Amino acid sequence: MKRCPVCNQVFGDENFFCLNDEIALETFQMSSPFQDTPTQILPSFPTKIVPQKTKNKGFYWLIGIMSLVIVALASVIYGLILKPQASNSQNKEKSENTEKIIDSTDAKAGNQKPSSSENKEAVPQSISPITTEAVRNLIDRWEKAQDGRNYNAYKACYAPQFFGIKRTKSGRETRMNYARWLNDRQKMLKNTIDVSVQNLEISITGDTANASFFQQFQSVSYHDEGQKILKIKMFEGGAKIIYEELKYAY
């Protein structure tokens, strides 16, 4: 090793002059650091233990949120399933108690429920069979109701099961149920009407009577004639028309 005698800067053996002041370097032997530097023993101090911070705070937050959700779901299930069952059982008990009170009150008042035999007696008697006389009386009322423009009397001649076919002299054909037929006839009865029944023929098959006659119809603005057919049955209120058809009109 070489050293500058002025600045004491140490250089390698390959250098001959100091790079700082260009003085010739002197060769010297570097002493061992163990001989020049005394050994020092430093006092030891206890190491301070720093507690490690928790790195899993997010995990514990997630567990807490899931616990709250489970509690909320349990509350909803109880409200939807268990609570209605409890209320139904309470309502059932109340209804049973109410029935007991009513039964005891009826027993004290001497009220008794009608027996099955009494219910059978309340059933209306069987409907009378259709007769020729009943058919003639019905057609007579039907004709007078139209002549007198009495809609209620005319309506009473028809059964709710009615179906009819209306034809005019122009060849037009209209099929109507009970409600539509009466609505059409109600408009017709507002005008002066004269209905004539001629050559009435009646035949009975089973519980149905067939009436055929020649009809003349006259209103303020319309007139026609033609063959009409009625089908009639007996009901609780008497004989009623279930079918009506004007076969032709001219």
Residue 230 counted as domain residue: yes
What are the tokens at 65? 């949120």
Residue 12 pLDDT greater than 60, yes or no: yes
User: How much of the chain exceeds pLDDT 90, in percent?
Assistant: 40
Q: Residue 122: what pLDDT?
A: 47
CATH number of the domain that residue 156 is part of:
3.10.450.50
Identify the residue whose tokens are 């053996």.
Answer: 13
Any domain includes 38: no
198 within some domain: yes
Greater model confidence, 210 or 100: 210
Q: Does residue 168 fall inside a structural domain? A: yes
Number of domains in the chain: 2
In a domain, 199, yes or no: yes
Domain span including residue 23: 1-31
Q: Which of 151 and 64 is assigned the larger pLDDT?
A: 151
Does residue 231 fall inside a structural domain? yes
- Please indicate, yes or no, if residue 202 is contained in any of the structural domains: yes
Contact between residue 28 and residue 1 where contact means Cβ atoms under 8 Å apart: yes
Over the stretch 98-142, which tens digit does the pLDDT of each residue have? 566 555 555 554 545 444 444 444 445 688 999 999 999 999 999
In a domain, 45, yes or no: no
pTM of the model: 0.51
Mean pLDDT of the chain: 79
Does the pLDDT value for residue 55 go beyond 70? no
Contact 190, 149 (CB under 8 A): yes
Backbone phi and psi for residue 95, each to the nearest 5 degrees, phi listed first: -65, -40
